[in-house]
């Protein structure tokens, strides 16, 4: 019986290769990095994907985990109205974050290329890359939404489809 492609590495040695894709905000990247450390401590390989300047600013990780961690630096394409040196939300005024999101959305092609070339078992993603769903479905890669918000915030924001896909069916406070 042939194994699904994403089960091959686990079937061989019981270890997984997991890709993590957080939003370009340090309040998102740091919790993802903490999860990366926990997963790597269990002996699994983890690829953390972000733009070069963000990866270069992340806290250093224990050397004992270095063989299991792969920091994947994908370039952030130049985007009209986005400051050239902007790398995360803290670099921008609130009304300019939309341009960071536009630039992040334009990383679809480079992300798809990376995922196609990778031998991975799982992908964990944040709310922003809504476009990852069709890519991982096409590649038959299991994925999960890793939410860094507490439950009460999610109750305020509404259903996951609203958060991830931007569906705004709820316009009234009572919704």
For helices 108-117 and 132-139, what crossing angle results, to 10°?
A: 20
Query: 126 an active-site residue?
Result: yes
The domains of the chain, with CATH numbers, are 5-165 (3.40.50.2000)
In degrees and rounded to multiples of 5, residue 61 shows phi and psi of -100, 160
How confident is the model over 31-65, as pLDDT tens digits? 999 999 999 999 999 999 999 999 999 999 999 99
Instruction: State whether residue 157 is helix, strand or coil.
Output: helix
Query: 28 an active-site residue?
Result: yes
Q: Spot the catalytic one: 6, 17, 28, 44.
A: 28
Question: How many CB atoms lie under 10 A from the CB of residue 133?
Answer: 14
How confident is the model over 88-145, as pLDDT tens digits? 999 999 999 999 999 999 999 999 999 999 999 999 999 899 999 999 999 999 999 9
């Amino acid at each position: 019986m042939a194994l699904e492609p994403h089960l091959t590495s686990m079937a061989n040695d019981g270890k997984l290769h997991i890709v993590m894709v957080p939003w370009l905000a340090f309040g998102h990247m740091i919790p993802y990095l903490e999860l990366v450390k926990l997963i790597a401590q269990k002996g699994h390989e983890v690829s953390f994907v972000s733009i070069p300047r963000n990866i270069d600013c992340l806290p250093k990780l224990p050397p004992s985990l270095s063989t299991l961690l792969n920091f994947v630096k994908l370039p952030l394409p130049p985007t009209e109205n986005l400051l050239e040196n902007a790398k995360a939300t803290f670099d921008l005024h609130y009304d300019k974050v939309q341009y960071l999101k536009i630039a992040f959305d334009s990383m679809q092609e480079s992300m798809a290329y990376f995922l196609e070339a990778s031998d991975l078992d799982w992908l964990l993603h944040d709310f922003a890359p809504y476009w990852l769903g069709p890519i991982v479905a096409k590649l038959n890669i299991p994925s999960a939404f890793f939410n860094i918000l507490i439950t009460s915030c999610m109750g305020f924001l509404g259903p996951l489809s609203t958060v991830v896909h931007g569906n705004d069916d709820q316009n009234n406070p009572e919704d």
